[in-house]
Structures are given as C-alpha cells and as structure tokens.
A and B are shown apart, each in its own frame.
Chain A
Amino acid sequence: MNHPALAEKFAKDFNRTTWHDETLWFVRQKRDRAIYPIPEFQELRLLASQIKDHTLSNLDNYLLQFEENAIKNGVKVHWAADGEEHNRIVLDIIRNASSIKGKTGPIKMVKSKSMLTEECHLNPFLQKNGVEVVDTDLGERIVQFRNEPPSHIVMPAIHLKKEDVGETFHEHLGTPKGEKDPQALTEAARQHLRQKFVEADVALTGVNFAVAETGSFVVCTNEGNADLGVNLANVHIACMGMEKLIPKVEHLSVFIRLLARSATGQPVTTYTSHFTKPADGKEMHIVIVDNGRTQQLGRSDFRNSLKCIRCGACMNTCPVYRRSGGHSYDFTVPGPIGAILSPNIDLHKYSSLPFASTLCGSCSDVCPVKIDIHVQLYKWRQVVSKENELPAAKKWGMKGLAKMLAMPKVYDLGGKVARSALRILPHGMTHAQSMNPWAKARELPDAPKQSFKEWYSKNKKS
C-alpha cells in the first residue's frame, strides 16, 4: 500500500491521531527548550554539517584509517556490501566465537538499538538459524513482542498507548491484566531483561559515531542497555553504516552536543560510551555496511542525506508524520529522512514517499546536520516523474496543465469555463466526494463571475 492509503487508515481514528500528534509535538517542544538557550546551536549545526561533508568527501581514506586503527586495537573488522552479507557475517561471527563454539542449547543474543539491523532484517535471519535474539531497548522489546516494526527511529513504540503496552506485557511477561502504569510496566521489563543480559552469549549494538583517528566507536543510550549487554557477554558485535565515520575525537563534542538535544530535548543521553579495545579475553567485532550507501554517495543531489545522525527530529517536527504514523511509510526509517533515503533503495516501491510532504521545510530547519530534506523531497519527485513512476492521471494532467498555462488565451478561456461550471453545477455535484477529494472536508471557494484579469481589462486598461 502507498503512503496516502496507509495515512488515511491511520488518520481515520481521529482521537488517536490527535494523541499521536500531540505526543510527538511535545518532544519537538522539549527539543526547542533545549536548544534556544545555547547561543552557538546554529553554529554547531553548521560545523556538524561541514564535518560530515568533509568526511564524505574523503570517506575511503577515513574508512581505511578507521580499519587500521581498529585492527591495532584488537578489534576484528568486517565489510558487508549488502544486508544479506551483513547478516551472514554476524551469524559467522557468532558460530565461530571461541566462547560459543560447542555450546549446547540455543545461542543467546541481546541487542541494543540498531536501525541498520532493522534495515538488513537481521532478527528473522538469526532466529531462522537458531539464535535467540532479544531486543533490549524498551521500545524495541515492546514492538518485538508484538511482531511489529518500529514506527520511529528513536522512540520505536511511539505509536502505542500504555494500554496497548499493558496488554502486550500481560501476554508476554505476565503483568496483571489492566496494568498500564508506565513505571510498573518498565519495572517488569527491567526484571525480564536483566535475566536476558546475564544469560547472553553475544551482544550486538549499533554505532552512533565511529572515530577514524582512534578506531573507536561511540554508542549512546538512555537505558544503559548497550553497556549492560556488551559488558556481560563475551562477544560484542557492532554494526555500522559506513557513513557513521567522523575524523577525530574532538569532533565528537559537536555531535554529542547536537544529538540528544535534537532527539529528545535532553542535554545528553544518560550513557555516551566509547569503545576502543575489547576487555581482556573477550571479542569485539565491527561490521561496516554499504547496502546502497555508496550508490547514494554518487547521487550529487541526494548524497548529503548520508550525513544523517538518526536523531529523529525531522519526524517529531513533521506535521505529516505526526498525523500519519511511522508505519505509513512502510520503510525502516520513516518520516522526512526516510522519504529521501527510501527511493534510493527501491524507487518503484517508495515512489509515493517523496510526495508525503507539503514541502514546508520544517525538517530542514530542525535537522542538526543541516540536510536540505525538503529540497531533496522536491528533487526526488522529479526523479520519480522522470523514471515514469508517476500515476498516469497525474502525469498527463500535469502535461495538459503546463500546455494550457503556457498559452494565455487558452488559460483565460479555461478559467472562465471552469468558473461558470462551478457556478452553474449544483453543490452536490461539485462537492461529490467520490469525484473531488477536496470536498471531503472542505468547501470549494466561491467561483466569481469575473477573474482579476477580466476586472482589470474592464476597469483599468486605458
């Protein structure tokens, strides 16, 4: 299903849409309150954007530098061209780990949030191969129980109400029926997941930033689930999109100052963890993934979407996202940024996403790395049209309209005829909802007898 159809389904529940909109707007306001008092915030955005631009322009060398340093640190570095290879690499790491080899019973993995592994569909692949995978971020655990994809990259379960979570936990964790207190539900998850942390053989994390000069990577969480998992298990696998690189440790300061403030309005995440070397006797692996990123790097109009630090601010601010929900995008990364990343992956499947926007530009103004998201949405629309992915009615309609608007006399006459028709035809016909989507919730403007041009010709032209 395309975005308009899924969005319409979502928006049908009026009160829930109100709630969803207000919940996310609340986060946007928290973000505003966190950034207004910082005089250099706009300068930080510019710096972050320039650091990322620079890094992308030298990415091959930084990847090599990062790899060299990581290997020196005792970390194993793997390269995956696509999602499938990424999944296979992760499984091989698990099966070959000396601490796991020969284990009887299922291999247990705890995972902290990683949009990349969502993108690669890692969980079902590992489960099929006998690995028990537990998502440990609370929001991710909730949607994992429900067998749903996350609807937001920072708040995966933001589409759910506490009653929904209560029901899910009642079913999976045995909390009392009707329990919906977030405190009590979080406590139940804590008890359940502590057990999982202690039992885990392997811990997988995403990567927020990878530092070329030291071969380190940084993972940010509020819950502490990444560090708990990694520091209790014998094997740590960190999966990163190749665009996560930054040149130096000093650049972390810029991004750390921007990330949490933009994401949730916090001054910083509770835990900002810097991994450089594995603990004695343990394994650390990094999987560097392409999966379409080098292709996006080659598209000059769209390459700077690779600067994204996955803060989710563009979702929280997007008036369309707030009223259509993350699932209406049907892509790993929803919202405005998803709408410019997805066509690179599959233009046909996601051809409606660049149109799921009014081009209001709020996303670009909120983006901490200054991605010109709404400009790219406009440009993707042109690509969709060029690649013949526009609906036929729209395509030919626009061609006709353009012809008419290039010929003043035809335009004048066309306008006159249309206005007459609107005046003569009964309201029931001009506002027939099956014919005219405008009229479902709106009246058409009154059609005047005279256009401005006609008035001018009569009254002003000498």
Chain B
Amino acid sequence: MKVALFIPCYVDQFYPNVGINTLQLLEKLGVEVAYPTQQTCCGQPMANSGCEQDSKEVYHHFVDTFADYDYIVTPSGSCTYHVRKHYDIIDQTPAVQKVRKGVYELVDFLENILKVEEIPVDFPYKVGLHLSCHGQRGLRQANASEIIGDKGGQILTLLRKLRGIEITQLERNDECCGFGGSFCITEEAVSARMGQDRIADHVRNGTKVLTGGDMSCLMHLEGIVKRQQLPMKVMHIAEILNGSQP
C-alpha cells in the first residue's frame, strides 16, 4: 500500500502543525507515508470562483504528483471532495481516475481503510465538533439533519473513543460556518455573521475546544474566536487524535 500525504496549500502555509500531526499520526499507526514536495493545491479556490478552466493545469499537476500512490491522504474533506467530484472536466486517463479514487480525507482513511478501533489518548475537555459541509454532505462522512435525525458521523465516532472527552450538544448540529472559499471575502457580511452564529452556539453550550476535519472552516471560526477574545481553543482533528493537548 503506497500512501502519500497531501497537505493543502493554506494548511502548508498557515497551519504546519496540522500537517505535522497528520504525518505523525499516520506513522504511529504504522503507515509508511511519502510526501511529494512538488505538491501545491487541489485547484478548488479558482474553481469555486467560476474559473475551473484556469484550474485545469493545477489539476494536472496534482495528478502528476500523486499518480503513483494507492492512497492520497489529506486532512481536508473539502479538498478530497473537490478532487473526487470536480476533476471530471479533464481527460479521464487511468492516472486521473486512480487519483480521484485514491484521495481520502484523513478520518475516512483511518476508519475505513486502516480500520482504527482504538485511540489511546486522554482528552478531558468539552469538545465542540464543527462538521465541514464538504465532508458531511459532500463525502457523506456524517448524517445530514435534512435527511435523518440521528447525528452520527465518522469524526464523532473517533472523538468518542478519546478518554475523558465530553461532546458539546449544539442547537444546530450541521449549519455551515460561512467560510465558503472566496465567499468569505465577496460576501463578507453574511460570511462573518454565519461564523459568529456558529461560535455563539458553541459558547452557549460550553465548548472549550473546537475541532473539525477542515482547517478552512476552522481558520474562519478561529479568526472570530480571536477577534472576540473568547476562551476557546481551535484544533484540527488530526492534532487531537495525535495526542496534542490544547
């Protein structure tokens, strides 16, 4: 099993610790992980802005970078979704098909490929889970409240294995945070308001550590937490699972 690590561009630049924790976690679990250093980005920022034609060369670069691997693991549901869903506009060569099939969001990989049963980590905090829409509704990693009342999902399943953890019961379990890529700039007013409302839900219900599978949502939410100087720590799920403490 040849496994490559894909660290999304903004994680690479702004959250190297998330990358480090992802890598260490996978290595702890006995996975030999390669990190092709020519990697850049999945191409989503341009495509979501309407410029998927411009993104094509980034798509090709991504495929060239990762075509040799069986699995491409990344701490981002959003990038995974983009490669799987939207790489349909380039020629579907065997390499493209292989990469689209092989790309996995980290937690999905842990649960469904590595079949991780135990997470030997103490985490005695009240943790609020922010579901990223691309992970939840895009990759179906968690139930959607539009469809079913049960709130189960992959990240929740893993979090529950941590010792001492308490999970926040939110009033709105799966409302979007309002990041939305360039939406966070072009629709600043609504984007900020959505984020503020998500954070307020966590504050009201006692979240001390806010986590999730997508650093982009968390970057936006952390920006609000910091601006409002709230006593809440934002951590990517990879950091928690790897044993980092707040």
Q: How far is the CA of A11 from the CA of B189 in the complex (A)?
A: 7
Contact A453 B37 (CB under 8 A): yes
Given the complex, which residues of A lie within 8 Å of B9, measured CB to CB? 405, 411, 415
Q: Which of A358, A398, A419 contacts B178 (CB 8 A)?
A: A358
Indicate whether A299 reaches chain B with its CB closer than 8 angstroms: no
1/0 per residue B16-50: CB within 8 Å of A?
11111001000000000001011111010111111
Q: A358-B179, A358-B183 are in contact. Are A401 and B45 (CB under 8 A)?
A: yes
1/0 per residue A384-412: CB within 8 Å of B?
11100010001100110111011110010
Given the complex, which residues of B lie within 8 Å of A442, measured CB to CB? 192, 195, 220, 223-224, 226-227
Consensus secondary structure, chain A interface: helix
Contact B11 A17 (CB under 8 A): no
Indicate whether A159 reaches chain B with its CB closer than 8 angstroms: no
Q: Closest A residue to B149 by CB, please name it.
A: A36
Contact B54 A399 (CB under 8 A): yes
Q: A442-B192, A448-B14 are in contact. Are A358 and B180 (CB under 8 A)?
A: yes
Given the complex, which residues of A lie within 8 Å of B17, measured CB to CB? 448
Q: Which of A415, A445, A457 contacts B37 (CB 8 A)?
A: A457
Closest Cβ–Cβ distance, residue B85 to chain A (whole Å): 8
Q: A395-B51, A448-B14 are in contact. Are A402 and B43 (CB under 8 A)?
A: yes
Given the complex, which residues of B lie within 8 Å of A437, measured CB to CB? 185, 188
Indicate whether A267 reaches chain B with its CB closer than 8 angstroms: no
Q: How far is the CA of A418 from the CA of B41 in the complex (A)?
A: 16
Q: How far is the CA of A158 from the CA of B131 in the complex (A)?
A: 29
Q: Which of B16, B37, B133, B223 contacts A443 (CB 8 A)?
A: B223
Which size bracket describes the interface of A in this complex? 35 or more
Given the complex, which residues of B lie within 8 Å of A407, measured CB to CB? 40
Q: Closest A residue to B148 by CB, please name it.
A: A36
Q: A320-B190, A394-B49, A451-B13 are in contact. Are A32 and B145 (CB under 8 A)?
A: yes
Contact B189 A361 (CB under 8 A): no
Tell which of B37, B49, B180 has the most Cβ of chain A within 10 Å.
B49
Q: How far is the CA of A8 from the CA of B186 in the complex (A)?
A: 11
Given the complex, which residues of A lie within 8 Å of B40, measured CB to CB? 405-408, 411
Indicate whether A64 reaches chain B with its CB closer than 8 angstroms: no
Q: How far is the CA of A451 from the CA of B12 in the complex (A)?
A: 5
Contact B41 A405 (CB under 8 A): yes
Indicate whether B98 reaches chain A with its CB closer than 8 angstroms: no
Closest Cβ–Cβ distance, residue A357 to chain B (whole Å): 7
Closest Cβ–Cβ distance, residue B234 to chain A (whole Å): 10
Given the complex, which residues of A lie within 8 Å of B182, measured CB to CB? 355, 394
Closest Cβ–Cβ distance, residue A265 to chain B (whole Å): 13
Indicate whether B194 reaches chain A with its CB closer than 8 angstroms: yes
Q: How far is the CA of A451 from the CA of B138 in the complex (A)?
A: 28
Contact B180 A381 (CB under 8 A): no
Q: How many residues of B contact A (CB 8 A)?
A: 76
One of B55-63, B112-120, B158-166 contacting the partner: B55-63
Tell which of B50, B54, B145, B179 has the most Cβ of chain A within 10 Å.
B50
Interface residues of B in 168-222 (CB under 8 A from A): 172, 174-176, 178-197, 219-220, 222
Closest Cβ–Cβ distance, residue B30 to chain A (whole Å): 17
Contact B223 A445 (CB under 8 A): yes
Q: How far is the CA of A358 from the CA of B148 in the complex (A)?
A: 22
Contact B46 A319 (CB under 8 A): no
Q: How far is the CA of A443 from the CA of B12 in the complex (A)?
A: 19
1/0 per residue A425-462: CB within 8 Å of B?
00000000000011011111111101111111100110
Indicate whether B91 reaches chain A with its CB closer than 8 angstroms: no
Given the complex, which residues of B lie within 8 Å of A415, measured CB to CB? 9, 12-13
Contact A358 B13 (CB under 8 A): no
Contact B138 A361 (CB under 8 A): yes
Contact B7 A452 (CB under 8 A): yes
Q: Which of A324, A382, A405, A452 contacts B58 (CB 8 A)?
A: A405
Tell which of B40, B138, B189, B196 has the most Cβ of chain A within 10 Å.
B189
Closest Cβ–Cβ distance, residue A29 to chain B (whole Å): 9
Contact B190 A7 (CB under 8 A): yes
Given the complex, which residues of B lie within 8 Å of A42, measured CB to CB? 147
Q: A402-B55, A405-B41, A450-B16 are in contact. Are A361 and B192 (CB under 8 A)?
A: no
Q: How far is the CA of A385 from the CA of B176 in the complex (A)?
A: 25
Closest Cβ–Cβ distance, residue B179 to chain A (whole Å): 7
Interface residues of A in 356-390 (CB under 8 A from B): 356-362, 364-366, 378, 381-386, 390
Contact B14 A443 (CB under 8 A): no
Indicate whether B15 reaches chain A with its CB closer than 8 angstroms: yes
1/0 per residue A101-135: CB within 8 Å of B?
00000000000000000000000000000000000
Interface residues of A in 50-73 (CB under 8 A from B): none
Indicate whether A145 reaches chain B with its CB closer than 8 angstroms: no
Contact B49 A398 (CB under 8 A): yes
Closest Cβ–Cβ distance, residue A406 to chain B (whole Å): 4
Contact A4 B16 (CB under 8 A): no
Contact A320 B54 (CB under 8 A): no
Given the complex, which residues of A lie within 8 Å of B133, measured CB to CB? 358-362
Indicate whether B126 reaches chain A with its CB closer than 8 angstroms: no
Given the complex, which residues of A lie within 8 Å of B224, measured CB to CB? 441-442
Q: Closest B residue to A387 by CB, please name it.
A: B50
The 7 closest A-B pairs by CB, nearest first: A442-B223, A358-B180, A385-B50, A452-B19, A441-B192, A381-B50, A365-B146
Given contacts A12-B189, A21-B197, 8 further A-B contacts (CB under 8 A): A320-B187, A385-B49, A394-B182, A441-B224, A443-B227, A450-B16, A452-B20, A460-B23
Between A and B, 9 residue pairs with Cβ closer than 8 Å are: A4-B188, A25-B172, A362-B174, A365-B144, A378-B86, A411-B9, A442-B226, A452-B19, A461-B37
